[in-house]
Amino acid sequence: MTLRTKSAGISVSATADALMRAAADRFVTAAAAIDLSDRFVVVLAGGSTPKGTYQLLATPAYASRVDWSRVHVFWSDERCLPPTDAASNFQMAHTALLAHVSLPAANIHRIRGEDVPGAAATTYEDEMRSTFATPTGPPRSTPGARFDLVLLGMGDNGHTASLFPGLAAVRESERWAMAEYVAEASMWRVTLTPVILNAAVEVVFLVSGSEKAATLQHVVEGPYRCDVLPAQAISASNGCVTWLVDEAAAANLKRSRTHG
């Protein structure tokens, strides 16, 4: 058996609510670890578990522990829809979190889902490269030149961000963002690629629910098949990967894990 994420940490929470609290705590801890003269650059994910995490971060108990003026927010992916659409990942994060904290508008870097998909992906890569002062070439591992924290979910088909089984983005080796048509969702999406996601300081997967137990076990403990299970393509080669999961999602895991 190949343990693709052998160096990754797996923390199991008793319930989905406890998992969301653990994720909110991880966000606050990561934000506080950045030197006060620097910024904290985070990637937000879509999905119900991330949404619950964002709602917690918006509460005074959590929001008061983050210097939001130093936070820059990006997204792992976006549906090709206007930002006002209820299905927009930007709209979800805005409603759950961003509208409730003092985050400067200039620090919100959304994917322009309303634009032509290919152009939206190119524009987003340009924005990331500008933010990280890396006009060409691969991501750099120097401080301030990569994401400090990436939050990701995982679908029951093993997809993460909009890296879906059988699509090209999971194997991309140069571009930081791509647009692809996702047939099973009948829509275009823009996604960050493993090129930039794997350069992050820390990647945190949030996974809850018994319907994901079999897939989680295959992703974490099974053979490497990223075309079938795209979440396996995320390895944070110059950082670390942490899996925050609840008991239901962890039911099939055989390896050792910590309990939150």
Q: Is 58 left (phi over 0), alpha (psi -120 to 50) or beta?
A: alpha
Model pTM score: 0.94
From 39, 14, 29, 219, select the one nearest 132 (Cα to Cα). 39
Q: 250: closest CA among 236, 239, 260?
A: 260
The per-residue pLDDT for range 196-208, each reduced to its tens digit, is: 999 999 999 999 9
Q: What are the b/e assignments for 19-32, b being 16+ CB within 10 Å?
A: bbbbbbbbbbebbe
Would you state the pLDDT for residue 8?
A: 64
Q: Please identify every stretch of the chain with a pLDDT value under 50, giving residue numbers as ranges.
A: 1-7
| Cα(53)–Cα(51) distance, integer angstroms | 5
Cα 51 off chain centre by: 12
Q: DSSP 3-state assignment of 147?
A: coil
Max intra-chain CA distance, the chain: 47
How far apart are alpha carbons 216 and 114 in whole angstroms? 33
pLDDT of residue 35: 76
**What 8-state DSSP symbol labels residue 80?**
S
Which residue is listed with tokens 């991330």? 50
Phi, psi of 100 (to 5 degrees): -115, 0
Q: Report the distance separating Cα 3 and Cα 182, nearest Å.
A: 28
Q: What is the DSSP letter of 38?
A: S
Tell me what pLDDT residue 256 has. 58
Structure tokens at 217: 């076990």
Spelled out in words, what is the top-level CATH class assigned to the domain 9-224+233-244?
Answer: alpha beta
Quote the CA–CA distance of 163 and 169 in Å, as a whole number. Answer: 6
CA–CA dist 204, 225 (Å, integer)? 20
